[in-house]
Chain A
Amino acid sequence: MEGGGTVSEAIEPDAVSEIMEQENPSDVTHMNMIQAINSAMDVMMERDPTVIVMGEDVGFFGGVFRATAGLQAKHGKNRVFDTPITECGIIGVAVGMGAYGLRPVPEIQFADYIYPALDQLVSEAARLRYRSAGEFIAPMTVRSPFGGGIFGGQTHSQSPEGIFTHCSGIKTVIPSTPYDAKGLLIAAIEDNDPTIFFEPKRIYNGPFDGHYDTPATSWAGHKDAQVPTGYYRIPLGTARIARAGEALTILCYGTMVHVVEDTVRTLGIDAEIVDLRSLVPLDIDTIEASVKKTGRCLIVHEATRTSGFGAELSAQVQERCFYHLEAPIARVTGFDTPYPHSLEWAYFPGPVRIREAINKIMKD
């Protein structure tokens, strides 16, 4: 990829490895993101008796977003169960289960609720391998719906990924399609390090182009909603070229991938859209190759700007691609305010702001 190879060269190795890791690549069906996430847990519980699922409302009811529907009936109450409403307790218990030898997949009902668990996540789960020199590990995958666009107000809309990418010892993964959600979640569950798996809840049921005033679309007919029913994994740390292009590079993840795709389509600009999929570990090679090829870099995320992950991306790109840049690196992000309710669409980095940023970066 050094020197800016073609896009097909950049994506081919991953595509091949993903298909090769499938058990039965021909058995594919339509799934929305909820179903894909559910399928990932189901597949892993079938394969590995140490995988257990727990969280608020995840048992009999199957989760407030239905992501764990049917799992308790199929795999039993010893492996899928409701928990008390204490996120600190949920993650602390998951650390202990990991030390025992289980592979817990706790759900935090909304990413906004993860803060009471922060100490157990960043001081315990993330540091256990290091502080015990590998004697104890915390192989947990913390699933949590995140991001806005559903009129959730400030406590059901946040994007706290930057808090976790800042902490050593924990991985942060964010899918943008049903296909990726399942393959990445399986990889996260199999991973022996703790992983934060943020699920963009605005696109659980369909891709979202940022036009909140038009009817919602479903995943029906979307190529990335064709999901293998069995086992496959997408290695953590591999980005996806969502759209190949030459004019500029747009780095994004989660819901913003779809908003960016639609804005680029509307503008008719030949942008290369890189869906990061995993922030830690980060696929720096794909990013570097793309920016060196296009000479322009726009970063889009929904999280607040200051010390957001875009700041790290901006620094990395500047350090590696400075002499290839033809314009300053730009960011479109959520504002440094709490997530508002009635003014949600003023806060959300939607098509208007992304279009303006693209126009500006192309003139610079």
Chain B
Amino acid sequence: MSDPTGSGGVDGQAGDGQAGRNLPPLRLHVPEPPARPGESADFTHFDIPAADAAPRPDETAQPAEMREMAYGLIRVLDEHGAAVGAWNPKLPPETLLRMLRYMALTRAFDARMFRAQRQGKTSFYMKSTGEEAVSIGATLALAYDDMCFPSYRQQGILLARDWSLVDMMNQIYSNTGDRLKGRQLPIMYSSREASFFSISGNLTTQYPQAVGWAMASAARGDTRIAATWCGEGSTAEGDFHSACTFASVYRAPVILNVVNNQWAISSFSGFAGAEATTFAARAVGYGIAGLRVDGNDILAVYAATRWAADRARANAGPTLIEHFTYRVEGHSTSDDPTAYRSAEESSLWPLGDPIARLKQHCISLGIWDEERHAAMDKELAELVRDAAREAEKNGILGHGLHHPMESLFEDVFEDMPWHLKEQQQQMLDEWKAAGL
């Protein structure tokens, strides 16, 4: 719209009355990540406290007494691989080695399924490279029947609960063995038996659901708690804030995990508010306990989750845990991270690799060595390869081995109403008439 007055506003409105006010023009701040493709990554500005720096409040501490936890960083493994400080969970060797194995299994599983997608065997995959500790550490700190409401990058939960690899792969291939009947995008698993809620493609919807499950458990005098995960980007969703309000109001026995992996597809964490404060600090406003954890330190993740679980079981309320980590790969098989961020970032990430750090710790304890690690990686690669071969017997996406056509009308309702039966019959008649 032309503006004959030259005052610059749309329809002249914004400019009206501005002349003579002698105020500086307002400026819009649009965040920009520190480094784009072709630029050097620089993490020297990161304030990384020493591994033993974080105090450990009592599990029943009042949120107001522990606000500084939301701005610090709980760490256990130091740069030499020693477990130090008040948060050291002092786990027995067999638990440490289980952790190591589950993280390595997750990485091997991701590698195999990523390749399967590239080979055209399925439509989509999402790796969790660099974030394995977040899922594995938390799962091992929870009871098997604590209910998990995951986002899409917590495959480690199912793996740490010894769920069938073939079953997960059947879902990824959407084949005849897929218990979900080929209805969900690959990796959107569901396993009631493993206390793993059906994953939604809509972001953070699982947050109020987890709080509701936890409220139900409390209202019924149960002892089970709930845990949920979302990314830092989707903390901006209204569901996140509704969930925090409900969790605070009813002191729900729930653990609210924010996986801050720095990137939401191509938008850096600044677009979710990271330039202004931490994500754990969201808890302060809601008056709930907030912990900020080195997400690449599985002992820290385990210790913080255990603290939050004990707190919830003691009716002391919910905990919000920010897991500070880094998404090493793209968001999914559908994006290329070299198009929007510095290629150096993952190699320069100052908190290292979660598997390498636990491996170093186990070696330093004398319970592990490089040879055994290499043998384990080889064994796990064969394990997932064999599972993939088994799953592929049930079919791969787009090769005809899927659930029957008419099944697409099932489970919309408990009982199929007439209009779906009519549409189902029409579809079958049309295919028959077409000779298919």
B204 to chain A, nearest CB (A): 9
Cα distance A191–B413 in the bound complex, in angstroms: 10
Which of A86, A91, A191 has the most B CB atoms < 10 Å from its CB?
Answer: A86
A92-B242 in contact (CB<8A): yes
B205-A89 in contact (CB<8A): no
Given that A84-B245, A131-B198, A136-B197 are known contacts, is A100 also in contact with B217, CB under 8 Å in the complex? yes
Which residues of B in the span 51-84 have a Cβ within 8 Å of any Cβ on A?
A: none
Does B281 reach chain A (CB closer than 8 Å)? no
Q: Return the contact of B226 from the options A86, A96, A130, A132 (Cβ within 8 A).
A: A96
Q: Return the contact of A116 from the options B147, B179, B183, B238 (Cβ within 8 A).
A: B238
User: Which A residues are CB-close (under 8 A) to B216?
Assistant: 96-97, 100-102
A95-B212 in contact (CB<8A): yes
A89-B245 in contact (CB<8A): yes
A94 to chain B, nearest CB (A): 6
B209-A96 in contact (CB<8A): yes
Q: Return the contact of B215 from the options A97, A131, A237 (Cβ within 8 A).
A: A97
Does A355 reach chain B (CB closer than 8 Å)? no
A77 to chain B, nearest CB (A): 9
How many A-B Cβ pairs are below 8 Å? Answer: 144
Does A192 reach chain B (CB closer than 8 Å)? yes
User: Which B residues are CB-close (under 8 A) to A132?
Assistant: 180, 190, 192, 198
User: Which B residues are CB-close (under 8 A) to A16?
Assistant: none
B161 to chain A, nearest CB (A): 15
Does A129 reach chain B (CB closer than 8 Å)? yes
B191-A135 in contact (CB<8A): yes
User: Which B residues are CB-close (under 8 A) to A136?
Assistant: 190, 192, 197-198
Which residues of A in the span 30-87 have a Cβ within 8 Å of any Cβ on B?
A: 52, 78-79, 83-84, 86
Does A325 reach chain B (CB closer than 8 Å)? no
Given that A92-B243, A135-B192 are known contacts, is A168 also in contact with B207, CB under 8 Å in the complex? no
B207-A92 in contact (CB<8A): yes
B253 to chain A, nearest CB (A): 12
Cα distance A83–B249 in the bound complex, in angstroms: 9
Does B211 reach chain A (CB closer than 8 Å)? yes
A88-B239 in contact (CB<8A): yes
Q: Return the contact of A78 from the options B149, B180, B219, B238 (Cβ within 8 A).
A: B219
Which of A104, A134, A192 has the most B CB atoms < 10 Å from its CB?
Answer: A134
B205-A96 in contact (CB<8A): no
A50 to chain B, nearest CB (A): 8
Given that A130-B183, A133-B183, A168-B412 are known contacts, is A119 also in contact with B205, CB under 8 Å in the complex? yes
Cα distance A93–B216 in the bound complex, in angstroms: 9
Which of B180, B211, B219 has the most A CB atoms < 10 Å from its CB?
Answer: B219
Q: Return the contact of B212 from the options A97, A119, A128 (Cβ within 8 A).
A: A97
User: Which A residues are CB-close (under 8 A) to B219?
Assistant: 52, 78-79, 102
User: Which A residues are CB-close (under 8 A) to B220?
Assistant: 100, 102
User: Which B residues are CB-close (under 8 A) to A93?
Assistant: 208-209, 211-212, 215, 246
Which segment, of B318-326, B369-377, B414-422, faces chain A? Answer: B414-422
The proximity string for B residues 107-132 relative to A, scoring 1 for CB distances below 8 Å and 0 otherwise, is: 00000000000000000000000000
Which of A95, A100, A101, A116 has the most B CB atoms < 10 Å from its CB?
Answer: A100
User: Which A residues are CB-close (under 8 A) to B191?
Assistant: 135
User: Which A residues are CB-close (under 8 A) to B213?
Assistant: 96-97, 99-100
Cα distance A88–B212 in the bound complex, in angstroms: 12
The proximity string for A residues 203-228 relative to B, scoring 1 for CB distances below 8 Å and 0 otherwise, is: 00000000000000000000000000
A359 to chain B, nearest CB (A): 33
Does A149 reach chain B (CB closer than 8 Å)? no
Given that A96-B212, A133-B181, A193-B414 are known contacts, is A86 also in contact with B245, CB under 8 Å in the complex? yes
Cα distance A263–B226 in the bound complex, in angstroms: 55
Q: Return the contact of A169 from the options B202, B212, B215, B412 (Cβ within 8 A).
A: B412
Does A280 reach chain B (CB closer than 8 Å)? yes
Residue of A nearest to B245 (CB): A84
User: Which B residues are CB-close (under 8 A) to A137?
Assistant: 414
Cα distance A98–B149 in the bound complex, in angstroms: 14
The proximity string for A residues 125-150 relative to B, scoring 1 for CB distances below 8 Å and 0 otherwise, is: 00011111111110000000000000
Q: Return the contact of B249 from the options A84, A120, A193 (Cβ within 8 A).
A: A84
Does A361 reach chain B (CB closer than 8 Å)? no
User: Which A residues are CB-close (under 8 A) to B411?
Assistant: 129-130, 133-134
The proximity string for B residues 155-197 relative to A, scoring 1 for CB distances below 8 Å and 0 otherwise, is: 0000000000000000000000001110110001011100001
User: Which B residues are CB-close (under 8 A) to A133?
Assistant: 179-181, 183, 190, 411
Does A123 reach chain B (CB closer than 8 Å)? yes
Which of B147, B242, B243, B245 has the most A CB atoms < 10 Å from its CB?
Answer: B242
Does A284 reach chain B (CB closer than 8 Å)? yes
Cα distance A104–B209 in the bound complex, in angstroms: 13
Does A282 reach chain B (CB closer than 8 Å)? yes
Q: Return the contact of A84 from the options B183, B200, B246, B413 (Cβ within 8 A).
A: B246
Does B210 reach chain A (CB closer than 8 Å)? yes
Does B214 reach chain A (CB closer than 8 Å)? yes
Does A124 reach chain B (CB closer than 8 Å)? yes
B200 to chain A, nearest CB (A): 6
User: Which B residues are CB-close (under 8 A) to A153?
Assistant: none
A131-B419 in contact (CB<8A): no
B224 to chain A, nearest CB (A): 9
A193-B243 in contact (CB<8A): no
Does A281 reach chain B (CB closer than 8 Å)? yes
Residue of B nearest to A77 (CB): B219
Cα distance A112–B165 in the bound complex, in angstroms: 46
A92-B208 in contact (CB<8A): yes
User: Which A residues are CB-close (under 8 A) to B212?
Assistant: 92-100, 104
Cα distance A70–B149 in the bound complex, in angstroms: 35
Cα distance A84–B208 in the bound complex, in angstroms: 12
Cα distance A168–B423 in the bound complex, in angstroms: 13
Residue of B nearest to A84 (CB): B245
The proximity string for B residues 216-252 relative to A, scoring 1 for CB distances below 8 Å and 0 otherwise, is: 1101100000100000000000110111011001000
Smallest CB-CB A-B distances: 8 pairs: A96-B212, A92-B208, A89-B242, A93-B212, A100-B216, A96-B209, A96-B213, A132-B198
What residues of chain B have their CB less than 8 Å away from a CB belonging to chain A?
147, 149, 179-181, 183-184, 188, 190-192, 197-198, 200, 202, 205, 207-217, 219-220, 226, 238-239, 241-243, 245-246, 249, 411-414, 417-419
8 additional contacts, CB 8 Å, given A96-B213, A124-B205? A84-B245, A94-B212, A123-B200, A130-B411, A135-B179, A137-B414, A280-B417, A284-B419
What residues of chain A have their CB less than 8 Å away from a CB belonging to chain B?
52, 78-79, 83-84, 86, 88-89, 91-102, 104, 116, 119-120, 123-124, 128-137, 168-169, 171, 191-193, 237, 280-282, 284
A selection of 5 A-B contacts at a CB cut-off of 8 Å is A84-B245, A96-B215, A116-B238, A128-B198, A130-B411
